[in-house]
């Protein structure tokens, strides 16, 4: 059984699909961390990890404004923008993931290292602390961590689909790091663990690819302007993306000029 969980903090439109399930990060039954708001959408991920029956053998996560795009044949654009998700686009079957351990978003070229971009928007000392935790708990991940964090491509959104065994392994690894981070950092900024987890997925997935023991593929993201609010102007972004495609060197150059 395949379940793709669409994380939303409110009731939103969901396509009529047998494999899409709306889940609220504030869900507080069963084994949950709904009160830990710094974990953001990971609160819903944790609930699925701890409470979803074993019969669900393929697990995925979207965010209500951002899905993975299975139908796109453009492997250069990291994402496109549409109005709403359509049920016809998500008649996902088990065959889509057959033989695959992980389906990940296409990484987006940013023109800056992951380290540098994290420091632009968040407290880079938090990422340094997580890096030290990796070195202590999982030294075999340090080389992939260096490769990913010093690279200029990023995996965004905490969006992915995994075979259940791989999903369990990943979340055991992820939460063991975040739990230790919690115990060491006493002044955590809002949503920090959610932001850190995006970078940790990149580290973990880089190792899976380097090891060659997982089967995987990468697909673009799709963002939906139909859910726009005062903080999200995806409809406007669609026009910008026409002239400055995401992940392009032209976009990076223009953005760099603006940020000076």
What pLDDT is recorded for position 214? Answer: 86
What pLDDT is recorded for position 254? Answer: 61
What pLDDT is recorded for position 25? Answer: 97
State the alpha helices, DSSP H only, in the chain.
42-51, 114-121, 124-137, 142-149, 164-184, 192-211, 234-243, 249-259
Q: Label residue 157 left, alpha or beta by phi (over 0 means left) and psi (-120 to 50 means alpha).
A: left
**Which stretch of DSSP H or E encloses residue 4?**
strand 2-7
What pLDDT is recorded for position 76? Answer: 80
Tokens 């994290």, residue located = 118
What pLDDT is recorded for position 115? Answer: 98
What pLDDT is recorded for position 239? Answer: 76
Cα-based angle 121, 123, 128 (whole degrees, multiple of 5): 125
DSSP conformational letter for 229 = B
The pLDDT profile of the chain, 260 residues, written as one tens digit per residue, is 889 999 999 999 999 888 899 999 999 999 999 999 999 999 999 999 999 998 898 999 999 999 999 877 777 889 999 999 988 887 755 555 667 999 999 999 999 999 999 999 999 999 999 999 999 999 999 999 999 999 999 999 999 999 999 999 999 999 999 999 999 977 888 899 999 999 999 999 999 999 988 899 999 999 999 898 877 877 888 877 776 778 777 767 666 654 55
Topology given in CATH for the domain delimited by 2-259? Spore Coat Polysaccharide Biosynthesis Protein SpsA; Chain A (3.90.550)
What pLDDT is recorded for position 187? Answer: 81
What pLDDT is recorded for position 30? Answer: 97
Q: Which residues of 11-27 are buried (b: 16+ CB within 10 A; e: fewer)?
A: eeebbebebbbbbebeb
Q: How far is CA 67 from CA 14, 127, 177, 256, in A?
A: 11, 26, 26, 28
What pLDDT is recorded for position 240? Answer: 77
What pLDDT is recorded for position 182? Answer: 92
Rounded-to-integer distance, Cα 181 and Cα 157, Å: 20
The residues near 117 (Cβ < 8 Å, ≥ 6 apart) are 110, 154
Domain boundaries, the chain: 2-259
């Amino acid at each position: 059984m395949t379940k793709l969980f669409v994380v939303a903090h409110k009731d939103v439109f969901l396509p009529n699909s047998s494999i899409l399930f709306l889940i609220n990060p504030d869900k507080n039954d069963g084994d949950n961390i709904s009160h830990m708001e710094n974990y953001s959408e990971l609160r819903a991920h944790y609930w699925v990890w701890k409470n979803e029956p074993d019969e669900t053998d393929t697990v995925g996560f979207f965010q209500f404004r951002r899905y993975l795009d299975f139908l796109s044949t453009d492997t250069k654009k990291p994402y496109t923008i549409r109005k709403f998700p359509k049920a016809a686009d998500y008649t996902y079957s088990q065959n889509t993931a057959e033989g695959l351990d992980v389906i990940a978003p296409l990484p987006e070229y940013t023109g800056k290292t992951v380290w540098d971009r994290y420091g632009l928007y968040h407290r880079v000392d938090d990422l340094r602390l997580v890096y030290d935790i990796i070195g202590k708990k999982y030294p075999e991940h340090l080389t992939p961590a260096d490769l990913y964090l010093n690279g200029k491509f990023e995996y965004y959104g905490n969006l992915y689909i995994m075979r259940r065994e791989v999903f369990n392994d990943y979340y055991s690894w992820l939460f063991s790091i975040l739990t230790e981070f919690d115990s060491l950092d006493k002044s955590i900024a809002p949503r920090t663990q959610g932001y850190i987890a995006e970078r940790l997925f990149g580290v973990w997935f880089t190792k899976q690819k380097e090891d060659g023991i997982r089967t995987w593929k990468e697909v673009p993201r799709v963002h939906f302007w139909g859910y726009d609010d005062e903080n999200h102007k995806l409809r406007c972004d669609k026009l910008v993306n026409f002239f400055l495609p995401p992940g392009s060197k032209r976009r990076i150059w223009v953005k760099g000029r603006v940020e000076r």
